[in-house]
Amino acid sequence: MMFAGGPLGTGSQWFSWIHLDDLVNLICESLANPSYKGVINGTSPNPVRLSEMCDQLGQVIGRPSWLPVPDFAIKAVLGEGASIVLEGQRVLPAKAKELGFSYEYPYVKDALKAIVREL
């Protein structure tokens, strides 16, 4: 609303993401295809740094993304849970890729554009 927003903390933490359509297709494929066994990470094959996610989102919606939320504010709100947000995780869909799953939105900019078009 104030036309300001940005990454949490430094923004250098990894951010694994997936478009809803790809997640639904991955779940359907794993239920229909008997070769999908065990743990299959429901993430895009291209995780990004949180700062890139914020930049891409700002570009797609036409808003600036320059004001980061400081670490201490995240820690005050989330306590020990802040480490998950501030450190991030780089989760890759190794098994889905190995099984040949095809993503409709493998890149964050394309996924965000599709989401904004749907709004």
Whether 9 is covered by a domain: the verdict is no
Q: What is the pLDDT of residues 70-84, one digit of tens each?
A: 999 999 999 988 988
- Structure pTM? 0.86
pLDDT digits (tens, 9 = 90+) for 25-50: 999 999 999 999 999 999 999 999 99
**Does residue 6 lie within any of the structural domains?**
no
What is the C-alpha to C-alpha distance for residues 56 and 49, in angstroms, rounded to an integer?
11
SS3 101: coil
Cα-Cα-Cα-Cα dihedral of 68, 70, 74, 79, to 10°? 160
In a domain, 109, yes or no: yes
- Looking at the structure of the chain, the number of domains it has is 1
